[in-house]
Structure 1
Amino acid sequence: MKTILVTGGAGFIGSALIRYLITETANTVVNIDKLTYAGHLENLQEIDHSPRYHFDETDICDTDVMKNVFQKYKPDAVMHLAAESHVDRSIDGSAEFIRTNIVGTHNLLEIAKEYFEGLTEQKKEQFRFLHVSTDEVYGELGEDGFFKETTPYDPRSPYSASKASSDHLVRAWYHTYDFPVLITNCSNNYGPYQFPEKLIPVVILKALQGEDIPVYGTGENVRDWLYVDDHARALCKVLQEGVVGETYNIGGHNEKKNIEVVKTICAILGELQPKNDGRYEEQISFVTDRPGHDFRYAIDASKIKNELSWKPKETFESGIKKTIQWYLDNIDWCETVTSNNYDLERLGTT
């Protein structure tokens, strides 16, 4: 049993990770989150009664408070997911991405290193700092090929540039200070509890409301889709069995054009909740493409499969159906998390 400090644990991926850690392991979990627009404690209601779960509303950029967190809980590992993560928001305003993703990661590394240096030798052997990143740091692919752990970085948006920066910081702390880090780079996540500004929940909610379903450009951009619970399992595998200093790419083996994803959602909604008039697909509307929109991402996840025996359980077909059904069953959650948002035009508002 370990005490694991998870930053950004009220967000989409962080909350899935914490739900997995509490329900599937015997570990104690400390959730650190400053509860921005995309962080919601409603994501954790099913486990927040557990005596092994603790929550601190804290900003990772706050040095004094974070030092107190480490001294109070004495973690055996850090799983760092706190980040600003929406590309569109980074294009409109990059400052918060620089602050959280770069300055925040630096602050956390400094505090964790100081804490690590005070541990006993036995505790040092066990301690790990897992930094969770994205495949967007690699840039874009052409019609073929895959991102590998050795692919050179070529970030093309303020978001991906900030994540690339934080990846480099984490590696520098490993090489300079012998600090025990691990890094993961994942493909596009989807699943329950995703804040309704990302593609899949936007499509679901816009479709249900009879509104235009916005698709960038011609919808030909390709992404690899990873079900969020598969990602949570992978992160725990890397934390437990990964080699210190190594990077592991995590992908779902589900490459899809954006327009394919949208049409699949429309078709499944037609089965689960048919429209009274026409088809959901008739609501698709192509809009001006996003600046610097990368054409294709695809991950080679053979390293984590071969070395750590992880592979995704969900196909895109099984995962997307579960996801759509979850949103149909949890419209109240969507209303709750979007009720006080200042930027509703981004959302599939309910």
Structure 2
Amino acid sequence: MERRTIQPRPDWQRTVESQGLIYPLTRHPDGVLRPYWDESAHYVFGLPEVEALEETVEELHRMCLEAAAHIVAEDRFADLGITDPRVARAVAEAWHRRGELPSLYGRFDLRYDGTGPARLLEYNADTPTSLVEAASPQWFWMEDRFPGADQWNSLHERLVAAWREQAPLLPPGSPLYFAHTSDDELGEDLMTVAYLKETAEQAGLDTDWISMEEIGWDPLSGRFVDNQLRFIRSIFKLYPWEWLTTDRFAGPLLDTLDNGGGTGSTLWIEPAWKMLLSNKALLAVLWELFPGHPNLLPAYLDGPRELAATTGYVAKPLLGREGAGVTVHEAGNGADPVPREEPCCYQALAPLPAFDGNHVVLGAWVVGDEAAGLGIRESSGLITDEYARFLPHVIL
């Protein structure tokens, strides 16, 4: 793994926008627009290195599924902050029926510097973003700048294949709706959903658009409907389950999930059991089940324990996006650690490696149960936040 500088392509912004990345710039707190898509540098990997990372990602995915099974079997939903028995029941029901419920993709965030084992920082398998830039613009960038080279990137082909494989699980005679919240100001959620809709259409599926805010509930039929009062039989939503189960229609939603997939039910993608994989408590359950595993970091739910005096620790809210609420605590500062009031996961501090002063995290994608591609983000600090930059990569 190596970071190399390179001259950006002429008119690069217009190029990546035409490829679906309509948010190539980020407005920083000082009001200045700076590149989110940053092709002034790139990362280079060797093929054996990427093959080893692929094996690591697929092993981590298997371990996460084992952890999910353990949470359900041992009724440990409270450890994830799931205290509503109806929500817990819906998640457990979805887990037991997972062979009948389409499930598409997820993204592992990994700490890796090219010299030691990759370490899991977190897993988002419910509403992961940065998909468009990983799948499309960075592939075309490689073809422009390094024709004949390769990239860890089979995202598009695997997404189309996954939709095609899971098409028999979708209710017949109705389109698969694709939804995002209209509160999305940057357009990232919109373009992610648009891209996934395109892959579904390439797989031969009939699709339709709707925003989450346009979804209605028809109390007479006991069904979710679109803005033309048509029954929504199946829907892909880029909208977290923790919001779905607490907003205005949570009651009807849980009623239909209690129906066990019968008449009146809406098939939601991602399914409710993905709540188990997008909760930071998963990190602590993994460490409990696989202590000492080389691809895991020590993690606990009841406080930092020995981490406060040894490695230092990172306190992560159980739910959150783009580093929100994450705090870093170095070891040996002389103060007794004070667990936070909100439920958190306390994970060993493993500072992101710095390349030319940039802190880098690998976003490794899974489609179905297979490793499918890589996206790389850089940040100025130790927390990968909303001001991080996306850099392409190549295998040479």
Taking structure 1 as the reference length, the TM-score comes to 0.28
Greater C-alpha Rg? 2
The structure richer in strand per residue is 2
The structure richer in helix per residue is 1
Structure with more contact order per residue of length (Cα contacts < 8 Å, sep ≥ 6): 2
Taking structure 2 as the reference length, the TM-score comes to 0.26
